[in-house]
A and B are shown apart, each in its own frame.
Chain A
Amino acid sequence: MADATKNVSHLELGDTDKTFLDSNELIINMGPQHPATHGVLRVILRLDGEKVLGTECVIGYLHRGVEKIAENRTYAMFNPYVDRMDYVAAVSNGLGYCEAVEKLLNLEAPPRANYIRVILTELNRLASHMLWLGTHALDIGAITPLFYTFRDREEILKIFEKYCGARLTTHAFRIGGCLYETYEGFEQDVTKFLKFVTPKIDEYEELLTTNRIWVERTRNVGMLSAKDCIALGVTGPVLRASGVKWDLRKAQPYAAYPDFEFEIPTGQNGDTYDRYLVRMQEMRQSLRIIEQAVGKIPEGPIMAKVPKVIKPPVGEIYHSIEAPKGELGYFIVSDGSTQPYRVRVRPPSFVNLQALEQMVRGQLVADVIAVIGTLDIVLGEVDR
């Protein structure tokens, strides 16, 4: 990978002896201010005409030192910080962190809490995929789906707001369970939402799935074989679109996931179109899970017996969940004090982003945009 970008050191961009017109190769700086890099990603492209010869990703423009902050906060105090990593899937981040600390404490959340967690996490997966669909379609030039998906995502955010008062960075869960009991009419709201959103997903598919331009723009674009996916550590829908049936909800069940029936959609070619189809199917599977969870949500407490001061025993733990974008892992080292000695986050966006180079080399500029969209990265999570 390194050889293709060897000459593209960004220091060279300041070389003013020649203008770029004198060169056969065009070095274009895409980002950090660019409408289609989903935040502040900077990609240095080496182009021959429209063809991409190599890329270099520069990240860190949104670095806030989340992992370092964790070392100066108690376990409970750090909980809201994780919401700010992948801010479009804040609930999933919270779930991963809470479960990791619970594992460290040898605690288990009560069944009712687990059900609430599953419902909210799956709703969040829907919201995240909707945002991905809207922005991905916008990058490829279809502007209308964006507004449709945002309209429907709004309904999910309304449920979050009613549940915990926040729409985006929810801080919905606490170590040991949930702080809030479901509000009056929660089940009805969720059921109503399920009825509302099913035809909407059909509507998105109607706009795109068989649209000739959409298929041409996405099929055989950004191919990634199963072998490469595994070698690069790529997870989530990107991995599944390459034909690997790997979903942590099935592989290492957590929360209340063993209780539900759902399928893991997979693709075959590992191209952008397959990743689109896989995510669309995942949205439908999420609806299935939510429907089952709302139907058999048990009664009981929502909080386990958690000590007032959380002081896990000396040790370390790695716990990962299936976030909308892939495997989200937390590695926590405890030195027995009230503050973690080290928290390392394995963010799916960060790991998936390293596949960009391999996916776009030899393709066209327009494909870079499509691939950034299909990787579904959130820069808050890449840079932390």
Chain B
Amino acid sequence: MLDDVTSYLKSDTTPGQAGNFLWAFIYILLIFLGLSVAVIAMNWLERKILAHMQVRLGPMRVGPHGLLQPIADAIKLLIKEDIMPSESDPFVFWTAPLIVVLTAFTVFIVVPFGPTHAVTDMNIGVLFMLGVSSLSVLGVVMAGWASNSHYPLMGALRSSAQMVSYEIAMGLAVISAVLMTSLNQSGTGTLSMIGIVQAQEAQATWFVFKFFPLGLIAFFVFAVAMVAETNRAPFDLPEAESELTAGFHTEYSGFRWSLFFLAEYSAMIAVSSIAVTLWLGGWLHPFPHWLSGETWDLVFSLFPGLTFVFLAGLTFYSVARMPKHPYFRVQTMGLAGFGAVLGLIGLALFAPPVRDRVQDIYWFAAKVAGFMYLYIWYRGTFPRYRFDQLMTVGWKILLPIGLGVLIVTAILGVVL
């Protein structure tokens, strides 16, 4: 048992490859936990950031600066009455959210948070991710159909058409990234998520800068397609609030609705992870080749700890600014406690064995967080596309671009 624990810590492969079931299980738990925390944090951050973009404050009442709002929401959703329309198909109605959530979480098995930090490394990693994440459309269609109601049906139809069309553009962009892995050195082309990042390391460039501007265009195609794929603004037609009230999950409430919510946000994180892995160098820190060597390694490994200490500092600054009133005493103490936890985590991350092991995860998460911010930013800025325009963008703009990039990449690969 103890042997299992220590042997993996010294190994340099993923637990899945090493056949270490204990650690694989721990990783699955960690990912499940981390994802749930990330979704909760995203909920709060989205409401706060969007609010500040829109000259308002966002949640302020539940906990200091509304920090406990997502938890209050979660409790509310759990104890809410679970309504099922009488005309619905109960079995399909039940299974639809499960399918959506399962696919959204299953995808994370192959996401490489670091060279050793993944549940497992498959040689068909990218294919697995695209395949599993596209299964979620099944859940959406089932939800819309089982509700036996007009708005959900229309939302489901829109959603399936949208996800199927954008998957093609997405796939083309992905293939051009996969082609790039085999360039410059023969026989190394790979679909493995870890392999793709290692190829970027070996070729000394992130694929977004590869064959400039080819990689950038492919990345752009993917970045647009992934927003459409996750049904977010400006492509949020399946749940277009002003047209279809809530789209395919109109008839869902309570816990089952929250499953859709959870799935939507984890799907956002999942596609962002693909984008980060394929184009932005995965777990590699910025400029891994210019800024290499002992000193730079030390500097970059200090970042995770510094970030947490900085957040703790911000929290303590907010504690100092809390109104000095007995009414706010509990909130102030709670905020201080939160800051202390952040600070302690930060200090723990400074310890040499921890920081070497953790900094890969940190850089990966930081890049994904950048995408999450973009998602929120889009939502605050763009109006919504109409259905026919959405199809035009998918089929007449993104698809030809993706195809062109793919062909040119392939030709360049042969020529160079």
Contact = CB atoms under 8 A, between A and B. Distances in A.
Contact of B386 (A21, A139, A366): A366
Given A28-B150, A139-B242, A144 B380 contact: yes
A370 to B, nearest CB: 8
A138 B382 contact: no
Interface string A130-144: 000000011111111
Given A141-B233, A141-B240, A367 B55 contact: no
Contacts of B381: 142, 144, 207
A212 to B, nearest CB: 9
A22 to B, nearest CB: 12
A26 B150 CA distance: 8
A20 B386 CA distance: 24
Contacts of B382: 141-142, 211, 213
A35 B245 contact: yes
The number of chain A residues touching the other chain, given as a range, is 35 or more
A207 B380 CA distance: 11
Contacts of A245: none
B385 interface: yes
Contact of A213 (B157, B237, B379, B384): B384
A141 B245 contact: no
Contacts of B388: 50, 364
Given A28-B151, A369-B242, A143 B379 contact: yes
B54 interface: yes
B384 A34 contact: no
Q: Which of A49, A214, A216 has the most CB of B within 10 A?
A: A216
B20 interface: no
Contacts of B386: 216-217, 364, 366-367
Contacts of B54: 143-144, 146-148
B379 A20 contact: no
A181 B241 CA distance: 46
Contacts of A303: none
A151 interface: yes
Given A28-B151, A35-B245, A141 B56 contact: no
A34 B245 contact: yes
Contacts of B243: 36, 365-366, 368-369
Contacts of B379: 143
Contacts of A213: 234, 382-385, 389
A209 to B, nearest CB: 12
Interface in B195-249: 233-234, 236-237, 240-243, 245
B387 A141 contact: no
B53 interface: yes
A142 B158 CA distance: 20
Interface in A10-52: 19-21, 26-29, 34-36, 49-50
B171 to A, nearest CB: 25
A217 B384 contact: yes
B43 interface: no
Interface in A186-221: 207-208, 211, 213-214, 216-217
Interface in A105-151: 137-144, 146-148, 151
A26 B56 CA distance: 40
Contacts of B389: 213, 216-217
A141 B383 contact: yes
Contacts of A369: 242-243
A365 B390 CA distance: 14
B271 interface: no
Nearest to B237: A366
B126 interface: no
**B234, B379, B384, B386 pick with most chain A CB within 10 angstroms:** B386
B200 to A, nearest CB: 33
B148 A19 contact: yes
A206 B234 CA distance: 18
A214 B150 CA distance: 27
Contacts of B154: 26, 28, 50, 365
A216 B370 CA distance: 29
A36 B242 contact: yes
B319 to A, nearest CB: 29
Nearest to B242: A36
Interface in B138-187: 148, 150-151, 153-154, 157-158
Contacts of B387: 50, 364-366
A138 B153 CA distance: 23
Nearest to A37: B242
Given A364-B388, A365-B154, A143 B236 contact: no
B242 A137 contact: no
A12 B108 CA distance: 49
A151 B51 CA distance: 13
B55 A148 contact: yes
B53 A144 contact: yes
A140 B241 contact: no
Interface string A267-286: 00000000000000000000
A315 to B, nearest CB: 47
B241 A35 contact: yes
Contacts of A140: 242, 383-384
B151 A211 contact: no
Contacts of A211: 382-383
Nearest to B53: A144
B168 to A, nearest CB: 21
B242 A141 contact: yes
Interface in A274-312: none
A67 B54 CA distance: 40
Given A141-B233, A143-B379, A144-B54, 5 more contacts: A20-B150, A138-B242, A213-B385, A217-B383, A364-B387
9 contacts: A21-B153, A34-B245, A49-B157, A141-B236, A141-B240, A142-B384, A144-B381, A147-B56, A216-B385
List the 3 closest A-B pairs by CB distance, nearest first.
A141-B384, A36-B242, A147-B54
Interface of B: 50, 53-56, 87, 148, 150-151, 153-154, 157-158, 233-234, 236-237, 240-243, 245, 379-389
